[in-house]
Amino acid sequence: MEELCTGLCSVLADSGADAGLALFLSLLVGVLLVSGVPLITVILLIWIERKVAARIQDRIGPNRVGPIGLLQTIADMIKLLSKEDITPTAADRILYNAAPLVSFASVVLLWAVIPFTPFHFGVDLEIGALYFVAVASFGTLAIMAAGWASNNKYALLGAFRVVALLVSYEVPLVFALLVPVLLAGSMSLVDIVNAQNGMWFVILSPLAFVIFYISSQAETGRAPFDLIEAESELVAGFNIEYSGMKFGMFFAAEFLHVFTNGIIMAILFFGGWMGPFYYESPLIAFAWLGAKGGLIYFTTLWLRNTVPRLRIDQIMAFNWKFLVPLSIANLIVVSFVLKVMQELGFAPGDMLNASFAELLPTTIILLLFNGAMIFYLLGILRKRGREARREAHGAHANFAQAGSAAGH
């Protein structure tokens, strides 16, 4: 996009347009091009999500409208357009109407920094990683506003849970995000991808990827962390009062957010556009990014449709007593080991120009340390699981005893 914007700007300026206007128009074209990608994918995503969910639940899914149901989303959109849109009289009108806009906009805004290919991206901000965290948390705000403005107890309960859940899981998310930033020595997403030329960061620090994956699943409010809209408890959660297209916007924002997280993970940990022949054509580079992001996206759908929902106390305990200490420990271990390697001269001082061979010793050592940590963690989890089972068994035995005593 960069050359396109600059090129268009100079062409317009040469043809006699005002310099400011030329810049504005070229930026506008850039914005429309970049935002076109998520807006088009979201139509496909809704179909994919429904189809995958159906297959996992042993159903067929949408298959009537268009070939293999591809036009289902269009039909749904037309249906939503013709639906009456009710604003409850008790609701806070301004917040109520603004919430779906903010929710969707916050996800689209993420795409401004996503590098599609080495040369095609909206903008390569020096603080791209921080921008991602900042903009993503706008979604939290929107859900909170929706729940509060609806003036409905179920919606408000959903909003309360959002605050607790999303805010908590942002801590391990950002700690995990610090690892790729640290390895690349840059917050720019383009630099982070380029730094993975020698080795993907998921191999250098698999634990950071796992933490990032779990927290981003929680950030999007998907199972097992879907207590924001727990149907059996809160009817629908924060969006219960919404109808018509406004509800549709929350729906689309959530689906797009999950896919965007997949793409972000592909960029941060799986080398983004890197892959065989990526330098041949931007289309191949883009296809690599899409394939990696799509695969990660698929696993999140799989997870969503497989695991049951956790209780809020379990979720909070898992975050604060497990994920947060783990993410801090991971950051400390990775940074310490890498620094020692650098001081001893085994690791390259800069990932950006390091080849695969130069990175091999670093990779092996970091993998060993990560493996040791994972092994230790599994040990802890097994011990805790055994304790919990024994406790449950004990409680059950006591209960049975009390029951038989009462029976006599």
Partner 1 sequence: MNVLNEWAFVGLFALMAPVFPALPIVIAWLFRPRKPNVLKSSTYECGVETIGDTWVQFRVQYYIYGLIFLVFDVEMVFLFPWAVAYNEMSLFGFVAGFLFIFLLTDALFYAWKKNALDWK
| Interface positions, 104-133, toward partner 1 (CB under 8 A) | 104-106, 108-109, 112, 122-127, 129-131
Q: Give residues 49-78 in contact with partner 1 (rule: CB under 8 A).
A: 77
Q: Give residues 238-267 in contact with partner 1 (rule: CB under 8 A).
A: 240-241, 244-246, 248-249, 252-253
- Residue choice 11, 60, 317, 374 for contact with partner 1 (CB under 8 A): 317
Q: Give residues 351-370 in contact with partner 1 (rule: CB under 8 A).
A: 351
- Distance (Å, whole) CA 368 – CA 374: 10
The smaller minimum CB distance to partner 1, of residues 23 and 54, is found at 23
As measured in angstroms, the least distance from the Cβ of 295 to partner 1 is 27
CA proximity to 301, closest of 339, 335, 254, 336: 254
Using left for φ > 0, alpha for ψ between -120 and 50, and beta otherwise, residue 271 falls in: left
CA proximity to 267, closest of 128, 381, 135, 397: 128
As measured in angstroms, the least distance from the Cβ of 145 to partner 1 is 13
Q: Give residues 212-241 in contact with partner 1 (rule: CB under 8 A).
A: 235, 240-241
- Residue choice 11, 19, 28, 368 for contact with partner 1 (CB under 8 A): 28
Please, what is the angle between helix 324-344 and helix 356-407, to 10°? 160
The span of 43-51, 177-185, 276-284, 294-302 binding partner 1 (CB under 8 A) equals 177-185
Which residues, in sequence order, are bridge partners of residue 115? 121
- Residue choice 197, 305, 335, 363 for contact with partner 1 (CB under 8 A): 335
Residue 268 near residue 120, CB atoms below 8 Å: no
Measured CA to CA in angstroms, residue 178 lies from 20, 287, 359, 403 at distances of 38, 27, 20, 54
State yes or no: residue 86 binds partner 1 (CB under 8 A): yes
The span of 147-155, 226-234, 291-299, 361-369 binding partner 1 (CB under 8 A) equals 147-155
CB atoms within 10 A of CB 31: 15
State yes or no: residue 33 binds partner 1 (CB under 8 A): no
Residue 328 near residue 349, CB atoms below 8 Å: no
